[in-house]
């Protein structure tokens, strides 16, 4: 695979082609500089990979490119709210197909369903095969069971409600923007004086 194949996503700010390749590999290796350098230079010893990766990662141009990339990849407030809203409204319908005979199955390859794959938390499948009957009358049967679990809609609703100020964990006690303070004078008397 070409080392610079996915570098089009990495900003080109004053980076040489080898530096861009390193930054690209750095992100493919979950931000592990040593591993990125090792994959780009497989004949280099591990200690040298570590030293060279550290040198590259302290370069100001490299740091700027990495920072710019991370900024562009981060979800903005609107995207977070949109995703939470989708999870709160989620159903299995984008993935379910029903045949003319009334059989129900999941279809994850449909372009309509592909845009909602982020709603899925977990998929379990189980396939069983059995032979029914004896001798020449025996028939092979295959059954497949699929369970799809979506992300928790209630949790997404709670998060959205908190964002919109509908649920609060604290009470704001102020008066015209000033904190209320109460001064309590307590006079302690010695009961033995009575």
pLDDT of residue 55: 94
pLDDT of residue 2: 41
Query: Regarding beta strands 104-106 and 96-98, do their DSSP bridges make them parallel or antiparallel, or are they unpaired?
Result: antiparallel
Q: What is the pLDDT of residues 125-146, one digit of tens each?
A: 888 888 888 888 888 888 888 8
| Residues in contact with 84: Cβ distance below 8 Å, sequence separation at least 6, in sequence order | 156, 159, 160, 163
pLDDT of residue 5: 41
Q: State the number of CA atoms in the 13 A half-sphere of 18 facing the CB.
A: 6
pLDDT of residue 12: 54
**Reduced DSSP (H G I as helix, E B as strand, rest coil) percent helix, strand, coil of the chain, to 5:** 45, 20, 40
pLDDT of residue 39: 95
45 close to 23: Cβ distance less than 8 angstroms = no
CA distance readout (Å), 5 to 2, 79, 100: 5, 28, 45
Alpha helices by DSSP H, listed for 5-45, are 17-28, 33-40
20 close to 4: Cβ distance less than 8 angstroms = yes
Helices 33-40, 17-28: axis angle to 10 degrees equals: 120
pLDDT of residue 8: 44
Domains of the chain with CATH codes: 7-73 (1.10.10), 91-150 (no CATH)
Instruction: Mark the ranges of the chain whose per-residue pLDDT is less than 70.
Output: 1-13, 168-185, 191-194
pLDDT of residue 132: 83
Q: What span, in angstroms and rounded, lies between the C-alpha atoms of 94 and 163?
A: 27
The angle subtended at Cα 111 by Cα 93 and Cα 7, nearest 5°, is 130
pLDDT of residue 58: 93
């Amino acid at each position: 695979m070409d080392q610079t194949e996915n570098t089009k996503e990495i900003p080109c700010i004053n980076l040489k082609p080898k530096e861009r390749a390193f930054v690209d590999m750095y992100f493919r290796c979950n931000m592990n500089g040593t591993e990125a350098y090792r994959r780009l230079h497989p004949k280099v010893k591990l200690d040298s990979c570590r030293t060279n990766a550290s040198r590259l990662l302290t370069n100001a141009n490299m740091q700027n490119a990495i920072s710019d990339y991370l900024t562009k990849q981060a979800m903005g407030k609107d995207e977070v709210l949109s995703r939470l809203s989708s999870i709160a409204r989620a159903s299995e319908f984008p993935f379910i197909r029903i045949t003319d005979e009334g059989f129900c199955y999941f279809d994850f390859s449909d372009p309509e369903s592909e845009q909602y794959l982020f709603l899925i938390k977990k998929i379990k499948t189980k396939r069983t095969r059995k032979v029914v009957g004896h001798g020449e009358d025996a028939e092979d049967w295959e059954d497949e069971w699929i369970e799809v679990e979506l992300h928790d809609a209630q949790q997404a609703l709670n998060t959205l409600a908190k964002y919109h100020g509908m649920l609060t964990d604290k009470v704001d006690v102020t008066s015209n923007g000033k904190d209320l303070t109460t001064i309590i004078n307590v006079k302690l008397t010695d009961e033995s004086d009575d």
